[in-house]
Each structure stands twice: as structure tokens, then as C-alpha cells.
Amino acid sequence: MDDQAWYLRTSKLALALAIIHSKPADKSSREYTEHLARTVSGQESKWRAKVKALEAEVLQLRQKQLLSRICSGSFESGGPSSQLQAQEPRSSENTSTLLEDSGCVLSNDQRTEPSEMTEHSGESCISTPFPPLSIVNRPCAPLEKPLSSHMQFLQHLLGLKTLTESESLKTDLSHFENASSTVSDSVFQLLDGLITFYREPKLPCSSFWIEAVDTLARLISDCNLSNHILKKCSKKLEEFEKTLLQVILSNNHINRFQVQHYVSQSLVTLGSCSLLRKSIISLLLSEVNSFADDLGAINQVQGNYDVTRYENIFSVFCVLEQLLQKETEEGNASRMGHEDQEIKTFLQKHDETILQLSDAFPLFTFYLWRLGTLLNSVEIGTVENNSRP
């Protein structure tokens, strides 16, 4: 027996003897052990909740610190302040407008009257390029509340990047890479909350969740931030995509179509990011291919099929059509055709599946034909691009 195993057995024996010697007279050793286990378990859950709350507070402080550093231009090695100070002072009204247009929320105490700005223009405009931003508490539903600060922080971040990279304030914010853990941790927490909500979405669905998905898509579309986010959150993003798909497919409530429309819109919004669109299209096509195979097998034996799944698959078709159209509009279609296995599988079986199922499932085959038309245009675009000198 090695030392570790011996120590473990000795510790268990010592603990058992201590429990036996200390148990009350009116309880058996088993009852007293179960009582102690419940007590320790309850304390452990309280400590875990406390640790989680403290971690959330630390993350929020890191978010505020990062925003403050950006606003004050205090990044090291050629921070924004050195370039921003060369700009002419702006009026308070123009600065506030720019910040609001960039997606940043200014509380009342962050606004400066034009007269005050004039008096301190020689001092405040140079020392602080932007007024300080804070993450304000908005009225939220209980499930939205924990995510509100993360979403505001990420929106502030995108807004400030847009502002500082505009023509009027040309500033290199590659310094974000040094604070990437704050951004990726915030995205991870946002994804966690989104997955929790979309597993059981409640009506009426708040616009907060679509806004959160849109913020997520814009973040991953940012070339400076996407690599850091995807390194930490790629599996979480994949889980989120699968969660959205399963909500569409498995919902069997009578009044499910409003929820399906909402979730479908979330998938389309997430797919507005070109880096995520390919994986979403592949995931949805995989489900279509699988369902077409199942219908083919059922049709041969004249068996019963899952009506709920059949009805829900049309929402998947609608999402796919919108994403493929978006891909074609952005000129990315030629990159997909020969690379994606699900597209190859779909196109190889397309004509045969339509002939086999058209009598029994005419609406399904009509949508297959529409989807095939879009995917064939992708293939044609690929051939044309490859044939160019």
C-alpha cells in the first residue's frame, strides 16, 4: 500500500472514531453521520455561492478598471492619450453625442454642461480624453440582472473601440490584447446566462436577450478581440448554438411558434458574425440531413413519423435560407462549397431525396428544393472563382 492510500484509510478511520465518540446518546452513529453530512453540505453550498458572488464582483471591478483606462488613455507604450491630446478640444455636447452613438450609457453625473466645459477646457480636455464611464444599474427582470453589467461593459468596449478607431480619433487600441482575460471572462459569463435562459425561454421574450446575442456577434466580428474570445469560449459558443437548435426542434407546446420565431431570430443574429456563420450552417444542415434520412426510412415502411419534429424543421429551413443569403451577399459563398461536409452530403442526396419524398411530404421537399437552389449557387460561385485566372 502506498503512502497516499494508507493516509486516506487512516483519515477515514480517525473520522469514524471521532463521530462515534462525539455522537449524542439519542442518535445512532449512522443518523449522526447523516446529520453532519447535511450540515457540511449546506455550509459548502453557502460558501460556493459566496465565492461566486465575490468572483462576479471582482470581474465587474476589472471591467470598470479597463473602461477607465481606455477613457483616461492610461495604456502603456503609446496609449491613446498621446494621440488624443493632439486633437482639438471638443465641446461637451459633441463628446456626449459621440459616446451615446457608440453605445455607451452616460449617467447624469457624467454629463458636463457646455459652460463648465469651456471653463475647464484647458485642463479636462487634455488630461481626460473621454468622461469616465460607469456600468449603471438598469431595471431588469431577475434572470437578466446578473448579465446586465456584463452586456453593458461589452457594449461600452465596442463603442469606445468604434469611437477611437474613427477618422476623427485615429487611435490604435491593440492594447486590448493585454486585457483580453477581462473581455473573455465577461463573454463566458454572458454565454452562461444566455444558455440558461434559452433552455427554457419564457413569454413574453424581452428584447434584452436579442440585444445580448447581437453584442456577442459584434464582439466576435472584431478582429482584435475575436481570437482571445474564441480561445476561451469556443466550446461554450458551440454549446449555445446547439442549445438554440434543440429549443427549436424539441418544443412541443401548442403555442410554441412565437418562441420559435424568437429563438430563430437569435440564431440569425448570431450568424450575422461571419466567423460563426459557417459552423451554424453546418450544424443546421446536419439536422436537415439526418431528418431527411429518417423520413426516407419511415416512408419505405409506411411508418409513423414525429409530427412535432416535422413541423419544427421548417424553422430550421428559414434560418438556413437567411444565413445562406447573407453569406452570398457578403461574397463568402465561394469559401464554403467544397469545404463543408454537410453541404456535400446534402447536395449528393438532394435530387434522390426529393424524388423519394415528394408524394408523401410535398412541403418538406419544396423547402429542400429551395435550400438546394441556394447551395447550388454556392457551388457555382466556387467553380467560377476557381476558374478565374
Q: Does the predicted model carry a pTM greater than 0.85?
A: no
Give residue 382's identity as a one-letter amino acid code.
T
Q: Are 263 and 200 within 8 A, CB to CB?
A: no
The confidence score (pLDDT) of residue 146 equals 63
> Distance (Å, rounded) from C-alpha 128 to C-alpha 90?
12
Q: For every residue of 62-125, which 3-state class applies, written as one string?
A: HHHHHHHHHHHCCCCCCCHHHHHCCCCCCCHHHHHHHHHHCCCCCCHHHCCCHHHHHHCHHHHH
Q: What is the pLDDT of residues 252-264, one digit of tens each?
A: 887 788 888 889 9
> Distance (Å, rounded) from C-alpha 166 to C-alpha 25?
77
Which grid coordinates belong to 283?
450544424
Provide the residue-wise pLDDT of the chain in tens; the chain has 389 residues: 588 888 888 888 888 888 888 888 888 888 888 888 888 877 777 888 888 888 888 887 887 877 777 676 644 444 443 333 333 333 334 434 434 444 444 444 444 443 443 344 333 333 334 444 444 445 455 555 667 777 777 777 777 766 655 544 444 445 555 567 888 888 888 898 889 888 888 777 778 888 889 988 988 888 777 888 888 889 999 999 999 999 999 888 877 888 888 899 999 999 999 899 999 999 999 999 999 999 999 988 888 888 889 999 999 999 999 999 988 887 665 455 556 788 888 989 999 999 999 999 999 999 999 999 988 876 555 445 444 54
> Distance (Å, rounded) from C-alpha 176 to C-alpha 197?
30
Question: CA quadruple 247, 253, 256, 259: dihedral positive or negative?
Answer: negative
**Residues near 236 by Cβ (< 8 Å), separated by ≥ 6?**
188, 191, 192, 195
> Distance (Å, rounded) from C-alpha 309 to C-alpha 286?
14
The confidence score (pLDDT) of residue 143 equals 55
The confidence score (pLDDT) of residue 183 equals 83
> Distance (Å, rounded) from C-alpha 36 to C-alpha 39?
5
- Residue 383 burial (C-beta neighbours within 10 Å; 0-12, 13-18, 19+): exposed
Q: What is the pLDDT of residues 103-122, one digit of tens each?
A: 444 444 444 443 443 344 33
